[in-house]
Amino acid sequence: MRAALTAAAALALASSASAAVVEKWYNLTYVTASPDGFEKEWSVGVNGTWPPPILEVNYNDTVRVHALNSLDSPSSLHHHGIFFNGSNYYDGAPGVTQCGLPAGRELTYEIPVDRQWGTYWWHSHSSVHYQDGLRAPLIIHAPEEPHQYDEEIIIVISDWYHERATKLNHQFMNKYNPTGAEPIPDALLIYAAQNGSYYSADDKVLFNDNLKIPFEAGKTYRIRVLKYVDRPALDSHCLRTLSHPLHNGGSLTSECYVAPTGIFSMLFFWIDGHDMRVIEADGVDTQEYPVDFLTLSVAQRYSVLVTARNDTSQNFKIHANFDSSMFDTVPEDLQLNYTATLSYGAGNPVAEEGVQEELGLMQDHLLVPVVVEEQFTPTTSLELDVWFDAYDNGVNRASMLNNISYVGPDTPSLMTMLSMGEDALNPVVYGPQTAQHLLTKNDVMDLMVINFDANAHPFHLHGHNFQVTRVATDVTSDDPELNPPHALGAANPMRRDTIIVPAGGAVNIAWRADNPGAWILHMEAGLAVVFMEDIPGAQQAMTLPQQIKDQCDALGISTTGNAAGKMSVTDLSGAPNGPRDQAHITGWTPKAKGALAGCVLTALLGMITVVWYALGGQLDADELAEEVERDMAKKAAAGGGLLKRGFNAIRGKSA
C-alpha cells in the first residue's frame, strides 16, 4: 500500500509539471438545429452553434468553464461523472447543490480533473435545456494509458425529438397520461468527433448516413461511445415568477428542474466486420473484454478497441438500434435501425450488413477494472424499491424510498446542510419530498435497488464511482443464476457511475462515504434519493461561493435554512409536500363523491328513459315537429346557438 501511495504521489508530481489552465467561455443560446433534416427551433446550443463543443482536457489540468445564460429561464451545467471532492457546489444540480443560473447571469464552474480520467460528458441539469440539446462529451486524457492504440474517435448516439421539451414534459407528466407512456423519439442521431472537432462538411456536422469515419489498415482505434437521450425527465422543484434583463424587468414563470436524466430508450451498438474489446466504462479502465455489441442506456459510456482490417476493399456499417421493447407503442413510421459508415475508401462498396442474432443487456458487471480495489465491507445498507403509479394528483410518477416521489426543496439541500449547524443532522430539515438519507464519514453503503417495473432503468450516482457487487435479472426466481445471493469478498468488482437495473431484477452497489456533500442518485419522474454525506465534514471544508449566493438571491431563493428556507426543524411550511401515493387516501374525496353522484343520476335517467319508451312514451311526428319549432324559437330569441353567440361576442356584436 505504501508503494502504491508513493507511486501515485510521483505520478501526481509528474503530471503537475505539464498541467495547463483550460478556460472555456460558453454562451448558452437558442439555435435552430436540423440534424435529421427537420428544422427544430429552440434547440439549445453554445455560442450560437449545435452540437455544443467537446471539452477535452488532460489529467490534472485546471479547468474553468464560464457559462453565460442567454436563455429565457434558469439553467445549469453538470459535468457528469466528475467527483467534485471539496466543491460539491459546482456539481450543477439545481435543488441539490445550486439554485440555477439565472437568465442574463454568468457562473464560472471550476472542474477538478485531478482524481480521474476517461470518458465523461457535460450537460445542463435543467431538463428542458438538456433535452433540447445542451450536452456534449467531456474527455480527460490519462497521463499514461494502460492500453495501446494509434488514434481515438468519439461516437455520440442521441435520441432526438422534433417537439420542444416543455411540450413533451407536459404530455408526459399529465393526469391524462396515467400510465406514464413516454413520448416516442422522432429519430436517433449518430455523430462523431476526432481531435476535439466533430466530423463535418461545408461547416455542417455530419449525422447518420452522411457520416463516414475514415479507417486506415493496420491501425488500432480507441472508440469512445456515449449515449444521450432527449426524452422528458421531470422533477420540478419550483415554479417561480422571476424578473431578469431579457424580459425588460417583466415577469416570467419558469419551471426549475433538478433531475434531467430523461432516461428511457436503450440502444445496441456494433460495427459490421470488426471485433470490439471493451477497455473502459464510465471513466474506469478495464482489462480487455471482447463483445459482439454494446448495450447503452442514457449517461453510460464505453471505450472499445477496434483494429482496422488489412483488406481495405470494402466499407462497413456502424449500427445503432433502438431497443423497441422499451416503447409502449411502436409507430409504423418509426425507424428503429440507424447507421453510419466506417470507411476505408471513398469509392468502396459497402459490405453486406451484418445481423446480430441475439441482443440484450450486456453483462457489464463481469468487466474487470485495471486498478484493483477489493470489495468493500458494508457498514450500513438500504433497499430502494422502484415503483411507478398514478399519484394523488393523477400523474404517473415513481418512487424508491418510503414511497416518496422526489421533488426538490426550495432551498437546495447542500445549502441546508452548510447553514443549519447541528440541526443539519436531523433528516427532517431537508423536507418531506427530498427522499434524503444521511451517511456518516467513511460509511460503506450497500445499496440494493429492486426494479418492480416492466422496463429496465439506469441510475446515476453523483460524486462517486460505485462497486457493482450483485446483479439479479429476476428477483422472484429461486435459480441462483437469475437471482444470485449477495456475497462479500470479491477480489476486484466492477466500478462505474451509471448502472442499468433489469426489469424485474435488482442490483447491489457499494461506495464509501468519503466525499462530503449532497449527492443525488436519480433516474426520472420522481426516482431520486439524495445522500447527505459527512455533514460535519462538509460544514468544515466548504464555503458557498458568493457568486452562487448572489444568483440564488436573484431567483428569490434562500441560501440558508431548511427545505423552506427557514431556520427551524419544525416549521417547514412552504416546502414542497406532495404529490403522494394514493395509499394515504381514505374515504371519499369531494371529487369522487361528485363523480359517483353523476354516475348514479345518469344511470337512473337511463333506466327511466327505457321504461318510458317501453310504455309507449315516444313522441309522434306532430309532437316532434312542435318540439323542434319551440327549440328553434328559443335559440333565435337567445341570439343563436352557443357557438354563434360566442362568435358574436368576440366580434362585439349583439344578438
**pLDDT value at residue 628:** 53
C-alpha cell at 167: 411540450
C-alpha pair distances (Å), 73 with each of 7, 168, 256, 599: 47, 17, 8, 44
420 and 556 housed in the same domain: yes
Counted domains in the chain: 2
- Residue ranges of the chain with per-residue pLDDT less than 50: 1-17, 231-263, 640-655
Q: What b-and-e string marks burial along 106-118, b requiring 16 or more CB atoms within 10 Å of the CB?
A: bbebebbbbebbb
396 and 526 housed in the same domain: yes
Instruction: Assess if residue 285 is contained within a domain.
Output: no
Instruction: Assess if residue 644 is contained within a domain.
Output: yes
Instruction: Assess if residue 510 is contained within a domain.
Output: yes
458 and 404 housed in the same domain: yes
Give the domain extent around 418: 380-584
**pLDDT value at residue 57:** 97
**Which H or E run contains 66?**
strand 62-69
**pLDDT value at residue 63:** 97
455 and 521 housed in the same domain: yes
**pLDDT value at residue 349:** 97
Give the E-state strand segments of 274-428 in sequence order: 276-281, 284-291, 294-296, 301-307, 316-322, 337-343, 380-390, 396-399
Cα angle, residue 98 at apex, residues 94 and 100 outer, rounded to 5°: 60
**Which H or E run contains 253?**
strand 251-257
630 and 579 housed in the same domain: no
426 and 474 housed in the same domain: yes
Instruction: Assess if residue 237 is contained within a domain.
Output: no
**pLDDT value at residue 643:** 37
Rounded Cα distance, 33 and 478, in Å: 51
Instruction: Assess if residue 610 is contained within a domain.
Output: yes
**pLDDT value at residue 596:** 58
Q: Peptide bond preceding 245: is omega within 30 degrees of 0, i.e. cis?
A: no
**pLDDT value at residue 651:** 40
Looking up residue 515, the CATH number of its domain turns out to be 2.60.40.420
410 and 553 housed in the same domain: yes
418 and 560 housed in the same domain: yes
Instruction: Assess if residue 398 is contained within a domain.
Output: yes
List all residues 6 or more positions away from 315 whose beta carbon is below 8 Å from its beta carbon: 212, 341, 342, 343, 344, 345, 348, 349, 350, 351
C-alpha cell at 90: 459546482
CB distance 280 to 438 below 8 Å: no
C-alpha pair distances (Å), 170 with each of 176, 394, 438, 595, 615: 10, 13, 33, 25, 51
**pLDDT value at residue 17:** 46
488 and 595 housed in the same domain: no
- In terms of Cβ atoms closer than 10 Å to its own Cβ (0-12, 13-18, 19+), residue 517 is buried
511 and 556 housed in the same domain: yes
Instruction: Assess if residue 198 is contained within a domain.
Output: no
558 and 639 housed in the same domain: no
443 and 498 housed in the same domain: yes
Q: Peptide bond preceding 579: is omega within 30 degrees of 0, i.e. cis?
A: yes
**pLDDT value at residue 183:** 78
